Amino acid sequence: MKVLVVGGGGREHALCWKLSQSPGVKEVYCTPGNGGISRVAECVPISPTDIEGLCRFASEREIDLTVVGPELPLAMGIVDFFRERGLKIFGPTRAAAQIEASKAFAKQFMERHGIPTAPYRIFSDPAEAISYIREEEGPFVVKADGLAGGKGAIVTDTREEALKAVDLIMVKRAFGDAGERVVVEKRLYGEEASFIVLTDGERFIPLPTSQDHKPVFDDDKGPNTGGMGAYSPAPLVTPELERRILQEIMAPAIRGMAEEGRPYRGVLYAGLMIDEEGNPWVLEFNCRFGDPETQPQVVRVEEDMVPLLEACVEGELPERELRLSSGAAVCVVMASGGYPGRYEKGKEIRGLEEAEGMEGVVVFHAGTVLRDGKFYTAGGRVLGVTGVGDGIAEAMRRTYEAVAKISWEGVHFRKDIGRKALRRLRA
């Protein structure tokens, strides 16, 4: 069969890498792809938001299954467009993708279905948001309502920081139209985890547990990014907690979407805060695979994922567990200097071949371009260096050994990915 992966980041490289291993897959295409993806798939220069162009390509090449990576084309209705033309595509419809495309919708949806989340208010007038923050007890998290590439949630410690966040989002329009409305919610405390399932709209299969690291600097300092690293499994998510997440969050969400006429098929991702008492709270829902969670997750999946993705599309997902390796995987994102702010592109990347030659290491490309046999930086997040081991400690050691072999001018990465897991395992 022929498979098309839409997108061009580290998540899409991981998907292409995994799907290309399926015995039933003969050809993998990626639009637009990147330098590293070109080694496992044929990259085609079509934008993920050019839905008509993507559909035309899928029809002409007789693509058997399209898998959508980024949230924006899902929010734009790519699944609806493909389905209307008889093309098989994995992902939620435009109506279902609202669970990520609008944080206001997601919060109101959770309230309607009794899904635990922080108290909140929604504002379309900055003056009203400012008045609320001045009158209420904080601290707050201020979120742009629309899609902002993972950077639209501003976690604040003080009232002044919250007021500045409203100004940045609603007045200065740092995230464009995504900031027409904001959600101001009470800040939750604890430890974050990502919980992600495949679903056919009724049944679901959890992907391996994982933990993302959003802030740019060690010890979760600095502004939020698209993600600076992840590991799997997450010791934070015990078997008992996993049962609670499935019963109290994932099942009600999938059932609730169906009840509201938005049947959800694809990947449903819950970004969670686990409080000191061990209770899970939903920070956000996402309508797609995680990035960088997908990287450590797929290297642990020890079975062909293509039949499962097809079963989601067809509404025939079996109720069972994934076959996973018993070990662990750690992904460290190597980023351009200045990210998530301004950064320069076009820096030559050195040491890739040596790192990729290491046993138990896969280097997933996020923002790279291949020119004359050399790789250059072409984005904020550049590489997702992923190592496996019998446990978190070994996976960390292997990953950071590979990271040390790779360099370019201004490279930046966190040096503590996996440390939270080790502390929990030693507790």
DSSP line for 192-231: EEEEEEEESSS-EEEPPPBEE--EEEGGGEEEE-S-SEEE
Indicate the average pLDDT of the chain: 97
As given in the structure block, the two tokens for residue 45 are 């220069």
According to the model, what pLDDT value does residue 110 have?
98
Cis geometry, peptide bond prior to residue 296 (ω within 30 degrees of 0): no
How does residue 402 score in pLDDT terms, banded at 50, 70 and 90?
A: very high
Using only C-alpha atoms, the chain has a radius of gyration, in whole angstroms, of 20
pLDDT in tens, 294-343: 999 999 999 999 999 999 999 999 989 999 999 999 999 999 999 999 99
Q: Which residue ranges form the domains of the chain, and what is each CATH number?
A: 2-91 (3.40.50.20), 119-186 (3.30.1490.20), 191-314 (3.30.470.20), 328-426 (3.90.600.10)
Whole-angstrom CA distances from 99 to 75, 146, 170, 257, 258 are 9, 10, 21, 9, 13
Residue 219: count other Cβ atoms within 10 Å of its Cβ: 11
Nearest to 329 by CA among 211, 152, 165: 211
How does residue 224 score in pLDDT terms, banded at 50, 70 and 90?
A: confident
3-state SS assignment for residue 354: helix
Residue 372 backbone zone (phi > 0: left; psi -120 to 50: alpha; other: beta): left
Classify burial at 342, counting beta carbons within 10 Å of its beta carbon; exposed 0-12, middle 13-18, buried 19 or more. exposed
According to the model, what pLDDT value does residue 11 have?
98
Classify burial at 167, counting beta carbons within 10 Å of its beta carbon; exposed 0-12, middle 13-18, buried 19 or more. middle
User: What is the C-alpha to C-alpha distance for residues 399 and 382, in angstroms, rounded to an integer?
Assistant: 15
**CA angle 47-51-55, nearest 5°?**
110
Does 426 have pLDDT greater than 90? no
User: What is the C-alpha to C-alpha distance for residues 73 and 102, in angstroms, rounded to an integer?
Assistant: 14
User: What is the C-alpha to C-alpha distance for residues 92 and 250, in angstroms, rounded to an integer?
Assistant: 15
User: What is the C-alpha to C-alpha distance for residues 145 and 214, in angstroms, rounded to an integer?
Assistant: 18
What average pLDDT does this structure show over 35-48?
A: 97
3-state SS assignment for residue 28: strand
pLDDT in tens, 106-124: 999 999 999 999 999 999 9
What average pLDDT does this structure show over 61-87?
A: 98
User: What is the C-alpha to C-alpha distance for residues 422 and 415, in angstroms, rounded to an integer?
Assistant: 14
Phi, psi of 283 (to 5 degrees): -85, -40
According to the model, what pLDDT value does residue 149 have?
81
| % the chain with pLDDT above 70 | 100
According to the model, what pLDDT value does residue 150 have?
78
What average pLDDT does this structure show over 160-176?
A: 97
According to the model, what pLDDT value does residue 151 have?
82
288 with 70: CB under 8 angstroms? yes
